[in-house]
Homo-oligomer: A and B are copies of this chain.
């Protein structure tokens, strides 16, 4: 049972919360808390043993916490996600495999691609694949069609697993801080298109990948996780792309795990991550 709490900071919050929890004779399996003193914000993630009456617990917590508190108690037993892709397989395949073996921490409802390339791998795992081309239609129509496919599934998160189209603010606003993207650079380096070519031309000695929530600014949303790998002069752009795929896969998997386990809080375009 996971309890996540976010509210304005004040003296005695930990005492108040832990007192409520201990009065219910709940064992705390793990507790992580963080105070951003400049922003005067308090964040807590509590893992306690299973309980029957979550409503009572929430009521008791609200009684001792500031009015503007956000509390989620084990929000959903298993998150639901929809995955958007273009042509590259590596992130999608990793998600499909974990989904198939029940180690993803979420269930994939369907996959939507603006190309048809990844239909077969989805269908091999019995996951519905929808092809929505972005060609010969307005961006509005494109996004309306995608949204029409997403909404019936009522997903907790959209995962952009190398989806190479930029979504409009209006689209993103439907899933605020619930769209997760993998960007193929060490943000904020190499924002936008062709980061590996830019990295090659700059002659960097490390390349990176960044998993982040999508906001209205391109590649400017809150960062969840980042990784890098060393490169050297002998790497062509293609070598960098290939090396990069390994960490893109790895860092997206890590970010999804963190999000699905309710370890990530968002505020001020940043994240608190209780790893």
Contact = CB atoms under 8 A, between A and B. Distances in A.
Nearest to A272: B233
A93 interface: yes
Contacts of A89: 97, 101
Interface in A132-166: none
Interface residues of A, number: 61
Interface in A193-213: 202-206, 208
A215 to B, nearest CB: 12
Interface in A229-273: 232-234, 246, 250, 253, 268-273
A175 interface: no
| Interface SS of chain A | mixed
Nearest to A247: B250
A275 interface: yes
Given A188-B190, A206-B228, A246-B250, 13 more contacts: A11-B26, A11-B27, A12-B19, A12-B22, A14-B28, A15-B18, A34-B233, A34-B234, A36-B233, A93-B101, A94-B97, A97-B121, A186-B206
